[in-house]
Chains A and B, each alone.
Chain A
């Protein structure tokens, strides 16, 4: 086991897959010579060269369109959209083309491509570089949606995404890039569409994604130490497919559900889970579902304001203590 950062895990996964399959190519802005603005792709240009690791102009529509065209004709492109906010610039290709190709061709076309992007807040970048937009992707049929919280998950899930025959939107939470974690040695390929239970507790089930996972874990320790509340923590990892089996099982065990979401409140993934829970296991619940989200506002730039928006471990503890005790 080696200790890697979240950003190193990105480069490792891509390198692992590029070594094994020469149809894997990688395109994006400043991903090559510069190693990525978040330094998540350092070393790839050197190892695989400019034919396979391509610096592009600032042309997101062309990047994703080219990824799609080449995916339909035999390549397995990985495209980077530097910040997930910029997906709005090329959303036509995502929503109307990539997502619908298999369906509209009656299954003739596969779309083995991955769109990687830096998502989420916490870096003071303001309203146009901090959004948590995984729900944009989640609501479009025909896409897979992944958002890892740890270096090991980055490596394993990204490798799985690259091998998958369908288009995968891979959301990396940018404030997690520096975090470290142990990653198994050797080839690592995880399974898409699987949630992970990170902590077992009998009182409440906290369901979290990406940067909210470490915060939920911290809150769980605090709840246990200070308030005698034992929380189960489930890392959703994959929004589409959603591992409802694991998630529903863990909620049924405690009878209480808390979602912790970075996205603005309306139409967050937690609302979808709440709806599924209401449909499937309503009678297992011992109390109302609690959704902890960022308020439904654009993200502010100022430190004090940004800190007040995203769910923090303290806020998770406070809301659970207030509403569950």
Chain B
């Protein structure tokens, strides 16, 4: 990324609204050495999201998926790096750009894809759709269509974890556009006031629909948004899964040790339009191709792996084949699973219809 990641001091004094970068010490978390197995796991997890999303995009084009479909292509390192730092005690919540988060939580690609096609085999029996999917089993709490709504909800996940002393942490993902929702401010204050174990992961992909951060935010350094409350924040190269993972480890430890919430701003990029209907005319082709060609999280990690000598390019191709097979199987399932029966309309509204 062009900007070097930065970090806000823990319990820093709140500056003026437009404080300059200088005010924030740059204590970038050092990248740890990941072992060969870990590298390979990150690679595979990112690849699964990439291939899944490519397929979802194709199926949308073929009319097999309707409504909205927000692809995560380009941002894979964020969720894979974060999820690798948590365990089964922890809970996750995000926005409508949620397919990657679900796969990274270990949800079944078949059930995710079948929800996209509106089939009974989908995680919400076809009632939720692309933006609204959940898995209680995998501690994934949605999939929310209202920008910012997941932020207080994620704060509540942390409240329960603290109350029940589970040791769990809440990973609450939000976009660069979502930070301008009033409810984010309310949630941040409550989280710090009550020392809740929640990490607010701001996925700064530079745009909220057609509006760039520069046009939408008076505060450009999103990792500092918790600063007035004394919430530590760090800016991370979200195109680098190792950097993400290192920052995630640190933030998770901070939360587990009872020190309250944490903000991570991930500098990332979505390659595709906001949703399938967005031709993305608000940015240049060069900007997109620079990110794809020079900062791609998957291509970059494959180089690291091959250079380390643990795997050859041929090995990685083989892995790609396996991943593609999983996605093909998911796509087939998503087309074969029956459409929900109209009687399903009236179930799940309340416990009893």
Which positions in A face B, CB cutoff 8 Å? 29-30, 33-34, 37, 55, 57-62, 85-86, 88-89, 123-129, 295-298, 300-305, 308-309
B345 touches A300 (CB 8 A): yes
Q: Mark B325-353, 1 if CB is under 8 A from A, else 0.
A: 00000000000000110101110010000
Top 7 A-B pairs, shortest CB-CB distance: A301-B129, A302-B118, A124-B67, A302-B126, A128-B145, A124-B66, A57-B180
A86 touches B178 (CB 8 A): no
Which positions in B face A, CB cutoff 8 Å? 66-68, 118-119, 124, 126-132, 144-148, 177-178, 180-183, 208-211, 215-217, 282, 339-340, 342, 344-346, 349
A34 touches B210 (CB 8 A): yes
A302 touches B127 (CB 8 A): yes
Among A123, A295, A297, the one with the most B-chain Cβ atoms within 10 Å of its Cβ is A297
Other than A62-B182, A124-B67, A302-B126, give 13 A-B pairs with Cβ distance below 8 A.
A57-B177, A58-B180, A85-B145, A124-B66, A124-B68, A125-B67, A125-B68, A126-B68, A126-B127, A295-B345, A301-B130, A305-B118, A309-B345
CB distance from B68 to the nearest CB of A (A): 6
Chain B residues with Cβ under 8 A from A59's Cβ? Answer: 180-182
A308 touches B345 (CB 8 A): yes
Bound-complex Cα distance A123 to B124 (A): 18
Chain A residues with Cβ under 8 A from B182's Cβ? Answer: 59, 61-62
Minimum CB distance partner of A297 in chain B: B349
B126 touches A301 (CB 8 A): yes
CB distance from B279 to the nearest CB of A (A): 10
Bound-complex Cα distance A59 to B147 (A): 9
CB distance from B346 to the nearest CB of A (A): 6
A303 touches B127 (CB 8 A): no
A308 touches B145 (CB 8 A): no
Select A302's contact among B146, B147, B177, B340, beta carbons within 8 Å. B340
Bound-complex Cα distance A304 to B124 (A): 14
Select A55's contact among B130, B145, B211, B344, beta carbons within 8 Å. B211
Bound-complex Cα distance A59 to B209 (A): 14
A305 touches B211 (CB 8 A): no
Chain A residues with Cβ under 8 A from B177's Cβ? Answer: 57-58
